[in-house]
Amino acid sequence: MKKLSTLCFLICFAISFSQEKYAKYNQTVSSVESNMILKVIPVKDDIYMIEGLGAGMGNIGLFETDDGVIMIDNSFEIIEDLITEAVREVSAKPIKYIINTHYHYDHADGNRAYGAQNIPIIAHHNVRDRQKNETKAYGGLYAALDNFYVPKHEENELPTITFEKELSLHEDNEEISILYFGNGHTDGDAIIKFKKSNVVHTGDSFVLYGIPFIDISNGGSIKGFITNLEMINSVCDENTIIIPGHGGLSNKSEVNNLRLGLKEFYNKTMKGHQNGLSIDQIIETIETNLGNTSGFGEPTEVKRNFIKSILLENNIIVE
């Protein structure tokens, strides 16, 4: 009887600890379930975007082929029914493949639902490695991400097709290039280009909400992020339609604007530190405006933390 009581105590403790550890994840998921509205936006030819309004989900890309739908990202598991309903607005055909742009839960948590349905999931091999384990986001930029843990995925929820540098799909008359340019937003970011249609889905390697979140704790690199924006531009032209990780449909010019703005942040941070400037003094030297980073905290504080992150990436610790 004593052993049974001890076992019950340990189980209850484990459940309580797990609930506390994943509190931010669970709170976000609950918010998504109660607030999400999905909007299907035609992009070009047979390509569409599903945009989530109200809870910060990543943009989903859809491509209808003769025998199925290719989905780029699948957002939150908890809104699987809503997402599937939105897919059905585009096509009644089955989901043929899912491509993960990276491992973050607002883009790939749906692997938990769709992987269990045996839909093949394509991703960089680092995405599979990240999802096999519990992850903790880098909290140095947004206070909301401090101690943000995401539970691991089960074996049947993981990507089933992985690649190292590039993978191509040939569907109907379209060639889909899935590209890895190196560490940037995370260590497993995929850029997807529809060559014939001239459409690119960037995942969070390009976003429109202001100063981007870069997951330094999980292979992300601010310098690499800037380089990857250059690489995105290299596979685009003035007519390319870009589906960003967050925000409305975009173009090469806006990718370049973000690249130049982040480059100014990076260069002036390093130069200012070398000249003995404080973080607030460095902020005063930066002219670019990357938006108000709505939803992630007070703008000046976000800028301050981003500068700290640049310094941290260069092994410079500041208070």
Indicate the pLDDT class of residue 3, thresholds 50, 70 and 90: low
Check which CATH number belongs to the domain holding 107 and give it.
3.60.15.10
Q: Is residue 279 part of a domain?
A: no
Mean pLDDT, residues 1-13 taken together: 46
Question: What mean pLDDT, rounded, does the chain reach?
Answer: 91
Q: Is residue 138 part of a domain?
A: yes
pLDDT in tens, 292-319: 665 677 888 889 999 999 999 999 988 7
Residue with more model confidence, 32 or 104: 104
pLDDT in tens, 116-128: 999 999 999 999 9
> How many distinct structural domains can be found in the chain?
1
Name the pTM for this structure. 0.92
Q: Is residue 278 part of a domain?
A: no
pLDDT in tens, 193-252: 999 999 999 999 999 988 999 999 999 999 999 999 999 999 999 999 999 999 999 999
The confidence score (pLDDT) of residue 12 equals 42
Q: Is residue 33 part of a domain?
A: yes
Q: Is residue 280 part of a domain?
A: no
What is the residue range of 132's domain?
24-254
Q: Is residue 129 part of a domain?
A: yes
Give the integer Cα–Cα distance in Å for 91 and 101: 22
Q: Is residue 297 part of a domain?
A: no
Q: Is residue 141 part of a domain?
A: yes
pLDDT in tens, 82-101: 999 999 999 999 999 999 99
The confidence score (pLDDT) of residue 115 equals 95
